[in-house]
Amino acid sequence: MDHHANFVPWQVLAMRRGASFRLCELTPDGRIDLDYLSSLLNERTRIVAFSHVSNALGTINPVHEIVRLVREKSDAIIVCDGAQSAPHFPVAFDTMGVDFYAFSGHKMLGPMGIGGLIGKREMLENMPPYQTGGDMIEFVHDDRTTWNVLPHKFEAGTPNAANAVGLAAAVDYLEAIGMDKVRSHERQLMSVAQQRLSAIEGLRIYGPPADERSGVVSFTLADVHPHDLATILDGDGVCIRAGHHCAQPLMRRLDVPATARASFYVYNDESDIDALVDGILKAKEIFGDVPAQAARG
């Protein structure tokens, strides 16, 4: 769904190599248009990259269906951005069918500045190192160098040991809760949140139904700019994100300059939804919209 981290690198690579950089369109409810995706694929397709879950819409994309379409029409390498899926529900790389899967530590209660890239062994074996330095070598000759075994071949230099320990602690914490329970908790909160928000006049929610998204909901409120809404909510101790969510191409597809986004995770409960709704109703009063008491009624 056009997150810059899984957009700009491929855009830059295409420009460097003279390749075509093609974008898949979305359905009106914020899903990947699979028919359009199929029309993009052919024997010249080299890489297909997509987000497992949209950070802006919460849409959970159908990995197996995407993989099936790609495999039927091309030999492309399939790259899945899992930054928004690994923290929210069980993920099994070996059953997904993708070639590479990336995730980020700070999205799953871990430290910033660390993440993971999982790849099929045969591809990693054939890839040269992208960085050189200590510990990624096997033997250095005067005229050539041979590489260490996986994963050390891609771990050049002094390891980020402190963050690795922190990420491991986050993984242990989530596994102790149980990823199925994490997913169930989010679904329950999203169902309530989407129901409560949908009842607010002038509020528009973007993306699919609650049971088909992760724990985020993006919305706009009439003519109130998301940044103004976020400021009002912040004054009442409610933290949301407002802006383009590092997905400017997606905002253009939605035909909005920005959205407000509320996120729910293992540490949230229904009292947070109450605070969010009360803050939005307060914003409606401040901006002279429908009186909050009437909206509550």
Q: How far is CA 123 from CA 68, 118, 150, in A?
A: 19, 11, 11
Residues 6+ apart with CB under 8 A from 110: 163, 166, 167, 169, 170, 171
Structure tokens at 287: 């901006």
Q: Is 246 a catalytic residue?
A: yes
C-alpha closest to that of 5 among 248, 207, 255: 248
Structure tokens at 173: 């914490």
DSSP code of residue 259? E
Q: Which of 24, 80, 239, 246 is catalytic?
A: 246
Q: How far is CA 132 from CA 76, 115, 258, in A?
A: 27, 19, 40
Q: How far is CA 245 from CA 112, 124, 216, 283, 284, in A?
A: 18, 31, 12, 21, 23
Residue 251 carries which side chain, given as an amino acid letter? M
CB atoms within 10 A of CB 184: 12
Residues 6+ apart with CB under 8 A from 235: none
Specify the DSSP element, H or E, that contains 77.
strand 77-81
CB 96 within 8 A of CB 68: no
What is the four-CA torsion angle of 207, 209, 211, 212, rounded to 10 degrees?
-40
Q: Hey, which residues does 47 pair with through a beta bridge? A: 77
User: To 10 degrees, what angle do helices 179-198 and 161-177 make?
Assistant: 80
Residues acting as catalytic residues: 246
